[in-house]
Amino acid sequence: MNEFPQIKEIKCRTILSKSGIEGIDYTINPYIGCQHACRYCYAQYMWPWKNIGLKWGKHIFVKVNALERLNTEIHRIKPWQVVELSSVTDPYQPIERKYQLTRRILEKLLNNNVKTIILTKSNLVTRDIDIMLENSRNLQVGLTIITLDEHFKRAFEPYSPSVKERLSALEKLSRNGIVTFCFIGPMLPVVTDESLWTLIDVLENIGVKMLIFDRMNVKWGLNKHLLEIIGKNFPDLYELYEKVFTGGDYWKYYKSLKNDILNFCEGKSFKVVFCY
């Protein structure tokens, strides 16, 4: 685990960020930076991180006044609006064990009947089931899983909890009557599709209510970065990835997989959503 990043406590001017994501009105990011340090993470190329210029995953800024700010800003959220925790950080990264910012923010949102969506890669989210159970009707909790294969997972998501732990978290949440979903993205050739059909069956058995599929964002040189990882860890896949990432074949791959997913999921008990 990436246990020893440099931690800096800061005060934020505002905690509610207007969102451009469809179906989400505001996002709350209690931290800047993310200890999970996923190799494909686009947040490292976005504001404010790109302006900070530090190594992704090694420095975390903690917005220690996040709850104080939310207390002041919560009136801006209309009853029909949706808040996501979080969009450019993981709200349940390891440092959350100590600071409990997400826990206190979640409590505030749910107590005020705010429609809330949690998205994380961590089973730490189950720590807060007690709060969720007090008022879960406005809540959906999602775990991201891009593959069932722990070997692939470790190469692309080196410091986040295992796939097994995430599936257990989804199961525990679902068993407690909380509406759950799985975010499957970015979808990567072989890494994702090799185990996708088994994953979908497992998720159906767990009782998740929705699967959200997303593409790989190949901007900002992320494709080159991933090619390096593939070359180092999975040389057999290098040629395929080179074609898909630099030869412009990613969309062809995505569209064809999308069709297969739609066919496979027909008649299943969950909703299927594609971001693109």
Q: Which of 25, 84, 90, 171 binds ligand SF4 (CB under 6 A)?
A: 90
Q: Is residue 84 part of the contact set for ligand SF4 (CB under 6 A)?
A: no
CB 122, min distance to ligand SF4, A? 8
> Does 41 participate in binding ligand SF4 (rule CB under 6 A)?
yes
Q: Closer to ligand SF4 at the Cβ: 2 or 135?
A: 2
DSSP, residue by residue, 194-216: HHHHHHHHHHHHHT-SEEEE---
Question: Interacting stretch for ligand SF4, rule CB under 6 A, among 36-44, 123-131, 167-175, 222-230?
Answer: 36-44
Q: Which stretch binds ligand SF4 (CB under 6 A): 35-43, 123-131, 161-169, 199-207?
A: 35-43
d(CA 89, CA 108): 19
Q: Considering only CA atoms, which of 159, 205, 156, 197 is closest in space to residue 180?
A: 205
| Residue located via tokens 């960020």 | 17
Per DSSP bridges, beta strands 139-144 and 26-27 are unpaired
Interface residue with ligand SF4 among 37, 66, 129, 146 (CB under 6 A) is 37
Among 27, 89, 123, 174, binds ligand SF4 (CB under 6 A): 89
Closest CB to ligand SF4 among 70 and 119? 119
Of 115 and 166, which CB lies nearer to ligand SF4 in the complex structure? 166
Shortest CA distance to 28 belongs to which of 144, 112, 117, 125? 117
Rounded to an integer, what distance in angstroms lies between the CA atom of residue 122 and that of residue 169? 8
Name, in order, each residue with C-beta under 8 angstroms of 195's C-beta and a sequence gap of 6 or more.
147, 148, 149
Write each residue from 132 to 171 as x if it is in contact with ligand SF4 (CB under 6 A), else as -, in one continuous string: ----------------------------x-----------
Measured between alpha carbons, how far is 273 from 215 in angstroms, rounded to an integer?
12
β partners of residue 17 = 27
Residue 117 interacting with ligand SF4 (CB under 6 A): no
Q: Closest distance between ligand SF4 and the C-beta of residue 239, in Å?
A: 26
Exactly one of 34, 62, 230, 237 binds ligand SF4 (CB under 6 A); that residue is: 34
Structure tokens at 104: 């206190």
Nearer to ligand SF4, 46 or 262 (CB): 46
Tell whether residue 121 is a contact of ligand SF4 (CB under 6 A): yes
Residue 195: CB atoms within 10 Å:
18
Tell me how far apart the alpha carbons of residues 116 and 90 are, in angstroms, rounded to a whole number: 15
- Please give the structure tokens belonging to residue 9: 């406590």
Give the total residue count for the chain: 276
Q: Judged by CB under 6 A, which of 28, 43, 105, 110 binds ligand SF4?
A: 43
Residue among 216, 215, 208 at smallest CA distance from 272: 208
Stretch that binds ligand SF4, among 32-40, 109-117, 172-180, 233-241 (CB under 6 A): 32-40
* Site membership for ligand SF4, residue 38 (CB under 6 A): yes
Task: Return residues touching ligand SF4 (CB under 6 A).
Answer: 34, 36-38, 41, 43, 89-90, 121, 160
